[in-house]
Structure 1
């Protein structure tokens, strides 16, 4: 039997919330400073907070984030292998735009997950294999606004839970747990990207910790959250890393200092074993919204937000 040192090594990169339209003047320019880092990983994953189609009417007024397939090339060239659509903006232009967004990503060779034409499609993990190691990525939306996928209707894989979508609906979470357990049977590593929590705070809600524990018990090997737009703590749950929010990666939210910064999660797996995990701090440029790695006191300050 091979020793751990003989197992293949795979480098996984996960970034926070991506919104490459509205006030972002050039998506390719926004991603360019990080392109070598993202493309240099074996697998790169993020959460896209917009549609890639505007085949419908905006559902959130001026906060409806829609673009077209022109974003596919910068995403692909930046190195994204899988994209979560489990968030509160995937439904911003209705059902047709949502399904066209899923199809556009798939057609470009970027595996979408977390939303789809029905519940089974939305719950289906993105499965990516590198060096003989199989990774499964699942996402769920706890914020609302994007419709919940049902057996017959498009939407996001969703969990109703505080603070935005009412008390925890245990049936929703049990469905996620079933999908995590099923993914564990076919993948060496299971990664969950929840869209949850309260905006503009470094403090996770207690319910996030409760849900994270259940995800880990079900078989998650890494949990990386989004939606708060600020960095939230990295904790260990039964030895499994849970970062409650990575912060914004590219987003035109220049009205607060905290919404212009975040961390890139870089994890190295030796076989199915997590060998190393690193958080890389950055700030966005105020004109292009391009994230750039920072060091010194600025890095220490941002990383301090990730401490429990």
Structure 2
């Protein structure tokens, strides 16, 4: 039976200081050292945590602390890293207003990168991104639970906002979003969620309930992000829940109690019906560039991931860095 390797990366922030490095050294700079690994996968998915735009006009709504905008050539950073699909449901996609979003969509379309979670209106923002690899089909829908003023409306651009405090309604929305993927007989429906607070190392009890509810109804992967640090991976009823994938590249401040430079890529090998393995690859962010972690840098990531997975009932095999779940 055919199998496919899928790589998930966390937040890709190509603005601010990262943008300066791109303009100085070229678009391959931020992800170049890990690009061979990312390109080697059959499918690579990340959360794009910025607008790709030449616009300099900030969001016209309430003022924000940070605005993340990457230059147009930053789209080549994604292409060079072999990124096939991005989530755009996040709290920075409209940082450069509607024009910034429109230009982002145009750049992605021109380079053949699929996206979900934002669009010219609510219908577009809710539409799934679909792709086939080796006869196995994938479909992703993306939502964000904060920056409510970025929400797409019937006749207004924006992102797919969801209120996760109303768990019953949120699960109804997830069920409705799954229906067209089920109708199309998509093998692997992926629910992407930009959710929860920053610098939190564990999912809340509510988020675990929501994640389990999503798998129970038929989603086969949950791809979470937003915390800027990685969480443990749970394998629930045979399907992976990535509560938080961390950051893949950024320029964020690093403090002793917030090791934002120690990150990872998650690799999942699967066939049309089941996971064969989940593996994580430690990476390290330095000077706005992501590199494979050195043996010394791996120690924190391996220890942290091992402990966090254990709390979720998963185990890490040190010999391979594979993650295994408990029987359900």
Same fold (TM over 0.5): yes
Contact preservation (8 Å) 2:232, 2:305? no
Cα deviation per residue 1:88-136 (whole Å; 9 max; x = unaligned)? 0001111222122112201210011111111111111111111111111
SS of equivalent residue, structure 1 residue 275? strand
SS of equivalent residue, structure 2 residue 156? coil
- Cα 1:188–1:11, aligned 2, differ >3 Å: closer, same or farther? same
Give the superposition deviation at 1:143. 1.8
Matches within 5 A, 1:170-181: 170-181=168-179
2 CA distance for matches of 1:54 and 1:306? 40
Cα deviation per residue 1:30-61 (whole Å; 9 max; x = unaligned)? 20110100000000010011001243621355
SS of equivalent residue, structure 1 residue 97? helix
2 CA distance for matches of 1:90 and 1:226? 14
Give the superposition deviation at 1:302. 3.6
Contact preservation (8 Å) 2:50, 2:69? yes
1 CA distance for matches of 2:245 and 2:167? 25
Q: What's 2:219 paired with?
A: 220
Q: What's 1:283 paired with?
A: 284
- Cα 1:33–1:245, aligned 2, differ >3 Å: closer, same or farther? same
1 CA distance for matches of 2:240 and 2:75? 30
Instruction: List runs of 5+ in structure 2 lacking aligned partners.
Output: 312-328
Matches within 5 A, 1:40-189: 40-55=40-55, 57-59=57-59, 60-61=63-64, 63-144=66-147, 147-161=150-164, 167-168=165-166, 170-186=168-184, 187-189=186-188
SS of equivalent residue, structure 1 residue 259? coil
Give the superposition deviation at 1:218. 2.5
2 CA distance for matches of 1:194 and 1:17? 12
SS of equivalent residue, structure 2 residue 231? strand
1 CA distance for matches of 2:245 and 2:96? 26
Aligned residue pair count: 296
Cα deviation per residue 1:215-253 (whole Å; 9 max; x = unaligned)? 112211111210011111211223321121111110111
- Please give the TM-score of this superposition, normalised by the length of structure 1: 0.90
Q: What's 1:267 paired with?
A: 268
Find runs of 4+ consecutive structure 1 residues off by over 6 angstroms.
Answer: none
2 CA distance for matches of 1:177 and 1:64? 33
2 CA distance for matches of 1:242 and 1:160? 20
**Alignment RMSD (CA, Å):** 1.9
2 CA distance for matches of 1:251 and 1:200? 14
